[in-house]
Amino acid sequence: MAQTMPASPGPPKVLYIVREDIKPGMMPAHTKHSANFAAIFGRLQTPNHRIALVPVAGSENEVVYLTGADTFAELEGMLQGTDKKMGAATGMTKTELARLAEEAPQLHSAMRDMLALYRPELSFNPGVVLPQMRYFSITTVRLKPGKDAEYAEYIQKVVNVARTKAKVDNVHLATFQVISGTGGGTYMIFRPMKSLGEMDDPVNMRVRAAMSDDMRKDADKSYSDAVMSSDTSTYWLTPEMSYVEKEFAAVDPTFWNAKPEPVAVKPKLRKRMPKPAAATPPAN
């Protein structure tokens, strides 16, 4: 998603999603590990720009990376170009990459890569200035087999109609259909937010209130018939683990170019040495 330029009217057409499960107790070490990789990407000027997400609500041991592109061919070029530059690294960078590769198995319990297509007709008011966002709520919807068309009709003709009627203009939703890397019938709905305070607005209640009785009945039936499961997690956009384009960071450089806070080191207390005893004058 970092590929999306700030003035872009909408999300990228293709999304590369990397989801990492971190071993319990290893999140601090993984944060440093990931930040080191991001620094190397910047040093080598690799084309694989990414936004890193860490959990606010959801699994405490999960990290998500998002990379956007216009086509899968473009994404392929980005990944191949990155591999080529990293493979050609020399000196200290080559040594550091080898060290990071050795560390990885100690940090990760599982990893999953997914490819997804943007579904504009299932989205709602998706345009945002992404560099100004601080959070993503991601809802993962898994459909019952063969229910994709029914789900699409439910979103377009019922939910989005009610959203428009309720005038929930502060809500921005970009829906992606995962086409590789997980089970079929998986959709991921991204809601970018500037603040968690945006969740104080009872959007779902407002949308449901905007439905007629018949629409509510249709909505309940369609959801029950089509959806197997749905879960939502909320993440913080993490600049030190991200690697974004200069133009992207320039929209909010204070946030995206911030240096990590130095770790405060408690000053060591010097042991007071006993004062030497006053010299005794020699006896006359």
The yes-or-no verdict on residue 265 having pLDDT over 50 is: no
State pLDDT tens for residues 196-215: 999 999 999 999 999 999 99
Asked if residue 209 belongs to a domain, the reply is yes
Asked if residue 243 belongs to a domain, the reply is yes
The number of folded domains in the chain is 1
- Could you tell me the pLDDT band of residue 104, with boundaries at 50, 70 and 90? very high
The yes-or-no verdict on residue 236 having pLDDT over 60 is: yes
CATH of the domain at 43: 3.30.70.100
Structure confidence at residue 10 (pLDDT):
81
**Quick one: tokens of 202?**
């009872």
Computed from CA positions of residues 148, 21, 113, 237, in that sequence, does the dihedral angle turn out positive or negative? positive
Tell me which of 4-13, 33-42, 104-113 is least confident. Answer: 4-13
Give me the chain's average pLDDT, please. 89
The yes-or-no verdict on residue 275 having pLDDT over 50 is: no
Beta bridge partners of 118: 176
Alpha carbons 28 and 9: distance in angstroms, whole number: 36
- Could you tell me the pLDDT band of residue 181, with boundaries at 50, 70 and 90? very high
Asked if residue 110 belongs to a domain, the reply is yes
Torsion, CA 132, CA 36, CA 15, CA 230, rounded to 10 = -80
Asked if residue 55 belongs to a domain, the reply is yes
Kind and range of the H or E run holding 18: strand 14-22
Asked if residue 281 belongs to a domain, the reply is no
The model's pTM: 0.87
Asked if residue 8 belongs to a domain, the reply is no
Domain enclosing residue 90, as ranges: 14-254
Alpha carbons 115 and 204: distance in angstroms, whole number: 28
Asked if residue 51 belongs to a domain, the reply is yes
